[in-house]
């Protein structure tokens, strides 16, 4: 893959991905403590802010209209700049209104970068290399998360929340300015449609994207809560588990990309969905603290296989539809984020096992749907 790593777009996306990962991880690690200890917010405030955080993901489809006035790689860099602005300003406005606004700014930057990153990766790297590039990005993101965790652990006791937010935000903002000045593009690419599209022939991509978002929300909203509520996991134990998980994914993510290239999306996604049926059912019945930790790690590993949904689209979609379709997919993925946590919370009150059983049912439906993956004869599922 040396020819890939020498590509200016590869280097551009790796640097921007590191910045995106640092920004989100610092915000996620410090936000709750900062909101409670410094801003004095209550649980109701946190819930509203977390809901606001999902709005930009839901509005990701609007990114395609930004391409009418700005090139996509510059929109990508601008998104990183906005992310840095939001993170840096977080510590300066320790009020409910202030944190709501800075969260919205940070989230727009993060979600719009993720949208353009997916689109640029599929445009600049062919079907035999894009899965590896996605896997490498996730590997580097995992390593970045570990580094961020170590630095926060070392400096949090010596430096104020405001200083950490500001310094990290300024570094990311500077990287965004640097990225905005770069030109990693080529002239031989297919021009992208600069309007929203929703095509019947892409129904399977839309469906798999929605189901992936729904299953992910069940994990985010309830898996860690189960570990704390039922098994009494401490912050230190959750942190250790987080680090172990990122170490595993650092080494495994590139291998997942290679597996997609070798075996094709249908086989890889079948493994994911078949395995997740048992993972979700195990969440519902597990009585062991060690086993639930293993489920947490397995859940993350299988979630990484979902990059095959994007590379599947690369093989069946019109090359002109990549940018608008990635934006549409990001919006569809976030529909579940708006609805599922609230519905799942109600079901949890009836019986905590219901959300996990629902996740297993969704995985079963996805397993059936993925069998419909077929490729045009000009787009073989495996590398030659």
Number of H helices, E strands in the chain: 16, 0
Q: What is the DSSP code (8-state) at residue 200?
A: G
205 and 94 fall within a common domain: no
How far from 170 is each of 93, 219, 230, 258, CA to CA, in Å? 16, 32, 40, 36
For residues 257 and 353, membership in a common domain is answered with yes
What pLDDT does residue 48 have?
A: 82
Domain harbouring 248, CATH code: 1.20.1250.20
Same domain assignment for residues 163 and 214: no
**Count of structural domains within the chain:** 2
Same domain, 134 and 170: yes
Instruction: Let me know whether 208 and 299 are in one domain.
Output: yes
**Are 250 and 131 in a shared domain?**
no
Q: What CA–CA distance (Å, rounded) separates 168 from 18?
A: 12
Domain boundary (163, 189, 215) is at 189
- Check whether residue 76 and residue 221 sit in a common domain: no
**How many angstroms separate the Cα of 75 from the Cα of each of 16, 65, 191, 264, 346?**
12, 11, 16, 31, 39
What pLDDT score does 196 carry?
82
In this structure, are 4 and 56 located in the same domain? yes
| Residues spanned by the domain of 156 | 1-189
Identify the pLDDT of residue 9. Answer: 95
b/e for 331-364, b at 16 or more Cβ within 10 A? Answer: bbbbbbbeebbeebeebbeeebbbbbbbbbebbe
Together in a domain, 198 and 176: no
Distances (CA, A) of 177 to 26, 34, 173: 20, 28, 6
Per-residue pLDDT at 119: 93
Write out the two tokens for 186.
């080529």
For residues 38 and 127, membership in a common domain is answered with yes
Distance of CA 70 to the CA centre of its chain: 24
**pLDDT score for 29:** 83
Assess whether 240 and 331 both reside in one domain.
Answer: yes
User: Residues in the chain with pLDDT < 50?
Assistant: 378-384
Whole-number pLDDT of residue 304: 86
d(CA 306, CA 318): 21
pLDDT tens figures, 96-147: 999 999 999 999 999 999 999 999 999 999 988 999 999 999 999 999 999 9
pLDDT of residue 76: 96
Question: 215, 203, 236: which is closest to 329 by C-alpha?
Answer: 203
Cβ atoms of 41 and 164 within 8 Å: the answer is no
Which candidate, 341, 334, 359, 332, places its Cα nearest to that of 46? Answer: 341
Max Cα–Cα distance, the chain, nearest Å: 60
The pLDDT value given to residue 1: 67
Name the domain boundary from 189, 219, 238. 189
pTM over 0.85: yes
Q: Which residues have CB under 8 Å from 161's CB, separation 6+?
A: 30, 33, 34, 37, 38, 91
Please check whether residues 155 and 274 belong to one and the same domain.
no
pLDDT of amino acid 381:
44
Last residue of a domain, one of 168, 189, 210: 189
């Amino acid at each position: 893959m040396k020819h890939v790593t020498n590509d200016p777009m590869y280097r551009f996306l790796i640097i921007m991905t590191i910045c995106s990962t640092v920004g989100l991880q610092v915000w996620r690690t410090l936000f709750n403590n900062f909101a409670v200890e410094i801003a004095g917010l209550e649980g109701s405030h946190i819930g509203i802010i977390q809901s606001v955080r999902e709005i930009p993901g839901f509005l990701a489809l609007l990114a395609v209209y930004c391409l009418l006035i700005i090139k996509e790689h510059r929109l990508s860099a601008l998104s990183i700049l906005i992310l840095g602005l939001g993170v840096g300003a977080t510590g300066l406005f320790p009020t409910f209104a202030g944190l709501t606004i800075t969260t919205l700014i940070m989230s727009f930057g993060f979600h719009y970068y993720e949208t353009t990153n997916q689109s640029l990766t599929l445009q600049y790297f062919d079907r035999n290399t894009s899965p590896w590039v996605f896997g490498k990005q996730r590997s580097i993101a995992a390593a970045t998360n570990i580094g961020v965790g170590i630095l926060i652990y070392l400096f949090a006791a010596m430096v104020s929340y405001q200083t950490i937010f500001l310094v990290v935000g300024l570094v990311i903002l500077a990287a965004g300015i640097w990225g905005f000045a770069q030109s990693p593009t080529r002239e031989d690419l297919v021009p992208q449609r600069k309007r929203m599209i929703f095509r019947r022939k892409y129904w399977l991509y839309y469906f798999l994207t929605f189901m992936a978002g729904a299953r992910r929300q069940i994990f985010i909203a309830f898996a860690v809560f189960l570990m704390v509520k039922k098994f009494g996991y401490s912050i230190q134990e959750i942190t250790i588990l987080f680090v172990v998980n990122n170490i595993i994914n650092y080494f495994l993510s590139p291998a997942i990309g290679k597996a997609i290239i070798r075996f094709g999306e249908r086989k890889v996604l079948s493994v994911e969905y078949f395995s997740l049926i048992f993972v979700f059912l195990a969440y519902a019945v597990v009585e062991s603290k060690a086993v639930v930790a293993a489920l947490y790690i397995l859940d993350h590993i299988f979630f990484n296989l979902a990059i095959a949904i994007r590379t599947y689209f690369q093989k069946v979609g019109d090359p002109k539809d990549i940018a608008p379709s990635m934006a549409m997919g990001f919006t569809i993925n976030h529909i579940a984020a708006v609805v599922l946590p609230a519905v799942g919370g109600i079901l949890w009150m009836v019986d905590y096992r219901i959300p996990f059983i629902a996740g297993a049912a969704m995985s079963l439906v996805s397993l059936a749907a993925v069998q419909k993956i077929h490729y045009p004869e000009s787009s073989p599922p495996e590398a030659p």
